[in-house]
Amino acid sequence: MNRRLVIKNLTWLAGTAALLPGCLSQTEREQPASMPLKHVALNARDENLLTEVCETLLPRTNTPGAKDLHIPRYVLKMLDDCTPPKDQQTFVGGLKQFDDVARKQLGQAFGASSAAQRTGLLQRLDQQPKGFPDEVVAFYRAARQLTIDGYKGSQFFMTKEVVYELVPSRYNGYFPVSQLNLAVPRHGQS
Amino acid sequence: MANLNIDSVKARTFDAIVIGSGMSGGWAAKDLTEKGLKTLMVERGRNVEHIKDYPTTNMMPWEFPHGGKVPYDVQQANPIASRCYVFKEDAMHFVVKDVEHPYVQEKPFDWIRGYQVGGKSLLWARQTQRWSKYDFEGPARDGFAVPWPIGYDDLAPWYSTVEKFAGISGNHDGLPALPDGEFLPGYPLNAVEDHFRKHLKQSHPDRHVISARCAHLSEPKPVHIAQGRVQCQNRVLCQRGCPFGGYFSANSSTIPWALKTGLLTVAPNQVVQAILYDEQKGRATGIRVMDAHTKTTTEYYAPILFVNAGALNTNLILLNSTSSRFPKGLGNDSGVLGKYVAFHNYSARVSAEYEGLKEFTTDGRNPAGGGYVPRFRNVFKQEMDFLRGYATSFGASRGRVQPDSGFGPDLKQQLEKPALTPWGVHAGMMGETIPKETNYVRLDPTRKDEWGVPLLSISVAYDDNDEKMKQDFFTQFSEMFTQAGFTNIKTNDSHQAPGLDIHEMGGVRMGQDPKTSMLNKWNQLHACPNVYVTDGAAMTSTSTQNPSLTYMALTARAVDHAVSELKKQNLKTT
């Protein structure tokens, strides 16, 4: 079996794991995440759950969604490299609790639920956080912010949506808002 | 630098040695070589060549692995550097890491350093204002420190020289407290900065909002083109190093200029341990350096030396240059070496919002950063219950609304077509601090760094004058902001340690009297006149201006003097 095939199968396994949580063996549960992590203890299953949360936060519409733009990997990297240990623990603890909450409220894993169910759960978490454990809310808020950061910092967003200008070569301190094209706002415009 | 290892005194002898390659060292090298002197410039850090060694300069935001942020482990390992605003993913390679270059804090002091060819001139905020006569007259008038041995008229022609070569943008504002200079066109104020300017003109005729003066080529002249620099492109990514040479740095300007003469030898990775003093000849003869990597020591010789290591490192080198003639450090007969260190108080901000002028925003980026309010307190006479005063940076900008709840397609749409926020305005205080004997640096008695140099021990703190001045700043700007119609006014005391302003000055102060100062009016050590100190260490007082322009003007003036003295054989006498 060549290496690429192994990776493919691993991905398939990880996907299956999310779909068939009851049938998980110890080994499957402990498949590592898709990137090396130095600080946070998240496995492939956790990563899958995180990926689904990211995609629900910023889904594919007529523009690419979180998965298309590899934002879950950005979230993992920022969590692992740039987040203080205390917040990492809260995030990881909150993610695991979120898994339990989803199973309780949706009757199945978040990843196995319908789009409407996922949206419904995040809607409650977003609008009525008091009904959820603190750590779950903290996880949601942090995941949401990192997903937004990843989206706004992505090459897609900065070349197709806001058009980042490395070399603006101009400054106008009295730029009329009426001339601002909000459909294609430019980074140089504050 | 294999050619430097030739084991002969002759090969290690130059007409002049410059210690340090930053703002003032680069200028010294330029002027010395232009005047025909074979010059050695030693730098303790690595080489950084213009453009070639700016690894991040053309990186897009999404190309940074952490979106521009510094990894947590790096922050934890470098708490001091991490407090500096340029210590981000795009420029952290130009800032000294705490662990690599330890020092002793007798009191909290954030010492921000840039050990590389070009020093901190790569990273500076590029604000450039002349001192006025009122600044030079401060210590004598108000009875602190010692009187400056020079006045505005002594330095004015040298300000002009520096401004023309470096390229300073600004307007002719005609203010006695902030003399005009040789300006390229100034950058404009934006709608709200201009609103505040007009308003202040009515409410406080003695207070002014001007366009910040900065070292950017708004309209390059032939002398800038000749340096290989072109017009500033408004990138405002200066801290990465600028491929256009749009702002002034030693790397883009003075060092390549000096290299073109064929008379400059740049020696990076050379840590100066001490300046050598010859008791018979009664003068300094050279320097002893240790290679940062191989740890071998070498001596270099020259009839004149310029010490431009950066204010506190200049103190360190002089303190460590002991001999039986100077047991307390080179030129330190008075005992004031290392004392009367001062800085700028940058710990106070006032922010607010403005609901007006919503029909305008900005387009592009302003390299000058916005407006500047020159000092208006105690300028012409003592009026307040504190000495001296503060200048203020003032800016306004609009941001984009980011929804703090919600998700899904709605959130995506809001991110893609974000609404504009109202204008935010901010004022940042830049306060003069009073040099005191109790604010000092000294050598740690026991600990040394890996190059055999004692660690510098720093004891610098704020005082009551700083506190009173800060409260006045808060009161005045809150009031002026209210009158200008700004709302949601907030004062912010950062309580930041001295040092983070990156304007540390003094310790080797200028003065008329050798009993109370280290340097004469030409920046020569009173007791060892072939050694010139023209960086921040020379400052007798600090005033409120960003200091780099003054360091360079002092350097240009001192080089002119040194070369004429050398011609008259005045510096070679035994």
A175: chain B residues, CB-CB within 8 Å: 360-363
Task: Answer yes or no: do B407 and A186 touch at CB < 8 A.
Answer: no
Whole-number pLDDT of residue A86: 97
B237: chain A residues, CB-CB within 8 Å: 166
A172: chain B residues, CB-CB within 8 Å: 188, 362-364
Task: Answer yes or no: do A59 and B72 touch at CB < 8 A.
Answer: no
Whole-number pLDDT of residue B8: 86
Task: Please name the residue of chain A whose CA is at the shortest distance from the CA of residue B58.
Answer: A166
Cα–Cα distance measured from residue B371 to residue B199, given in angstroms and rounded to the nearest whole number: 14
Q: Is the pLDDT of residue A141 over 60?
A: yes
Task: Annotate B139-168 with b (16+ C-beta within 10 A) or e (fewer).
Answer: beeeebbbbbbbbbebbbebbebbbbbbbb
Which residue, chain included where needed, has tokens 């006695």?
B176
Whole-number pLDDT of residue A16: 42
Whole-number pLDDT of residue B93: 98
Whole-number pLDDT of residue B194: 98
A144: chain B residues, CB-CB within 8 Å: 407
Whole-number pLDDT of residue A186: 64
Task: Answer yes or no: do A173 and B358 touch at CB < 8 A.
Answer: no
Distances (CA, A) of A169 to A115, A127, B239, B244, B399: 45, 43, 17, 11, 20
Distances (CA, A) of A96 to A51, A57, B38, B51, B409: 14, 18, 69, 48, 26
C-beta separation of A162 from B69 below 8 A: no
**Region of residue B92 (phi > 0: left; psi between -120 and 50: alpha; otherwise: beta):** alpha
Task: Please name the residue of chain A whose CA is at the shortest distance from the CA of residue B363.
Answer: A189
The whole-angstrom distance between B352's CA and the closest CA on chain A is: 17
Task: Answer yes or no: do B398 and A190 touch at CB < 8 A.
Answer: yes
DSSP codes, B471-494: HHHHHHHHHHHHHTT-EEEEEEE-
The whole-angstrom distance between A76's CA and the closest CA on chain B is: 11
Cα–Cα distance measured from residue A125 to residue B54, given in angstroms and rounded to the nearest whole number: 45
Nearest of B482, B187, B51 to residue A173 by alpha carbon: B187
Task: Answer yes or no: do A164 and B60 touch at CB < 8 A.
Answer: yes
**Hey, what are B379's tokens?**
């300028």
Cα–Cα distance measured from residue B196 to residue B272, given in angstroms and rounded to the nearest whole number: 49
Cα–Cα distance measured from residue B42 to residue B267, given in angstroms and rounded to the nearest whole number: 5
Largest CA distance in chain B: 83
C-beta separation of B302 from B313 below 8 A: no
C-beta separation of B547 from B503 below 8 A: yes
Residues 6+ apart with CB under 8 A from B461: B107, B439, B498
CB B320: neighbour CB atoms within 10 A? 19
Whole-number pLDDT of residue B203: 96
Whole-number pLDDT of residue B5: 54
Q: What is the pLDDT of residues B200-221, one digit of tens each?
A: 999 999 999 999 999 999 999 9
A168: chain B residues, CB-CB within 8 Å: 233-235, 364-365
Backbone angles phi, psi at B455, to 5 degrees: -65, 145
Which residue, chain included where needed, has tokens 């934002």?
A71
The interface predicted TM-score of the complex, written ipTM, equals 0.92
Whole-number pLDDT of residue B416: 87
Cα–Cα distance measured from residue B16 to residue A183, given in angstroms and rounded to the nearest whole number: 60
pLDDT in tens, chain B (574 residues): 445 555 689 999 999 999 999 999 999 999 999 999 999 999 999 999 999 999 999 999 999 999 999 999 999 999 999 999 999 999 999 999 999 999 999 999 999 999 999 999 999 999 999 999 999 999 999 999 999 999 999 999 999 999 999 999 999 999 999 999 999 999 999 999 999 999 999 999 999 999 999 999 999 999 999 999 999 999 999 999 999 999 999 999 999 999 999 999 999 999 999 999 999 999 999 999 999 999 999 999 999 999 999 999 999 999 999 999 999 999 999 999 999 999 999 999 999 999 999 999 999 999 999 999 999 999 999 999 999 999 999 999 999 898 999 999 999 999 988 889 999 999 999 999 999 999 999 999 999 999 999 999 999 999 999 999 999 999 999 999 999 999 999 999 999 999 999 999 999 999 999 999 999 999 999 999 999 999 999 999 999 999 999 999 999 999 999 999 998 888 764 4
**Region of residue B569 (phi > 0: left; psi between -120 and 50: alpha; otherwise: beta):** left
* Closest residue to A81, CB basis, from B60, B72, B194: B72
Whole-number pLDDT of residue A182: 65
Backbone angles phi, psi at B41, to 5 degrees: -115, 115
B73: chain A residues, CB-CB within 8 Å: 81
Whole-number pLDDT of residue B297: 97
Q: Is the pLDDT of residue A3 over 50?
A: no
The whole-angstrom distance between A14's CA and the closest CA on chain B is: 25
Whole-number pLDDT of residue B53: 98
